């Protein structure tokens, strides 16, 4: 098991389209284990491949409430089969945009089809925080971020802040 480095704004990788996973094998299962470990450690409730520099259509999530309420889910090559007309709003954050939060409105329920880490096809109806999180992760596979749903003014401000921060770190020789 290993902790992976998380890619943050304004890294252009976050805007990449991820490619389908071709084989669900031991190498991929090792990646999944490392993504779960990285996600729990962060801590976060979801993590997409591209956030750890792997541009493949895969994400992990766990919206459980803690040690005795765990719900680890890994979706590989997910597709959205259905989404509800009714919407729900959550305050979202992203491990790739640390310490920034904003309310985002999305379909309240979404049905996914995907492969699990054993290569078995699954269908899952996600609701509540699960639905929000799974859609946030699905967006990452297409290079989309939750800040794409806020006003342009606020988005530009966040990107500017992280760009400035990255330049400062660069100068100091961090990373
Ligand atoms: O840890 C996370 N919390 C979160 C809160 C509300 C909606 C979505 C999320 S996902 C985020 C982790 C992350 O960046 N996943 O891509
Ligand atoms: Ni995210």
Give all domains of the chain, ordered by start, each with its CATH number: 12-174 (3.90.45.10)
Residue of 63, 88, 92 to test ligand 1 pocket, by largest number of atoms within 8 Å of CB: 92
52-97 confidence digits (pLDDT tens): 999 999 999 999 998 889 999 999 999 999 999 999 999 999 999 9
Distance 89 CA to ligand 1 centre (A): 14
Residue 136, burial from CB neighbour count under 10 angstroms (0-12, 13-18, 19+): buried
Query: 103 vs 79, 92, 132, CA distance in Å?
Result: 24, 6, 11
- Dist. CA 61–CA 141, nearest whole Å: 14
pLDDT at 67: 87
Residues at CB less than 6 angstroms from ligand 1? 44-48, 51, 90, 92-96, 132-133, 136-137, 140
- To the question of pTM greater than 0.95 for the whole model, the response is yes
Please name which ligand lies nearest the alpha carbon of 49. 1
pLDDT at 153: 98
Residues 6+ apart with CB under 8 A from 14: 7, 50, 51, 96, 140, 143, 145
Helix/strand/coil for 147: helix
pLDDT at 175: 63
Ranges of residues in the chain whose predicted pLDDT is under 50: none
Please name which ligand lies nearest the alpha carbon of 46. 1
pLDDT at 100: 98
Catalytic residues: 137
pLDDT at 45: 98
- Longest Cα–Cα distance in the chain: 49
CB 89 within 8 Å of CB 103: yes
Strand ranges (DSSP E) for 62-131? 73-83, 87-94, 97-107, 109-115, 121-127
DSSP state of 56: B
DSSP state of 68: T
């Amino acid at each position: 098991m290993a902790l992976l480095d998380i890619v943050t704004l304004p890294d252009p990788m976050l805007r990449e389209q991820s490619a389908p996973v071709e084989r669900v094998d031991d190498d991929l299962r090792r990646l999944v284990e490392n993504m779960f470990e990285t996600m729990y450690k962060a801590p976060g409730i979801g993590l997409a491949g591209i956030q750890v520099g792997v541009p493949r259509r895969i994400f992990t999530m766990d919206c459980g409430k803690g040690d005795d309420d765990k719900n680890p889910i890994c979706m590989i090559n997910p597709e959205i089969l259905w989404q509800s007309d009714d919407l729900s709003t959550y305050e979202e954050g992203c491990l790739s945009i640390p310490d920034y939060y904003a309310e985002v409105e999305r379909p309240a329920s979404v049905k996914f089809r995907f492969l699990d880490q054993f290569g078995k096809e699954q269908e899952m109806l996600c609701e509540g925080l699960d639905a929000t999180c799974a859609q946030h992760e699905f967006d990452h596979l297409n290079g989309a971020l939750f800040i794409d749903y806020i006003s342009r003014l606020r988005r530009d401000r966040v990107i500017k802040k992280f760009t400035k921060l990255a330049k400062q770190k660069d100068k100091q020789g961090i990373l």
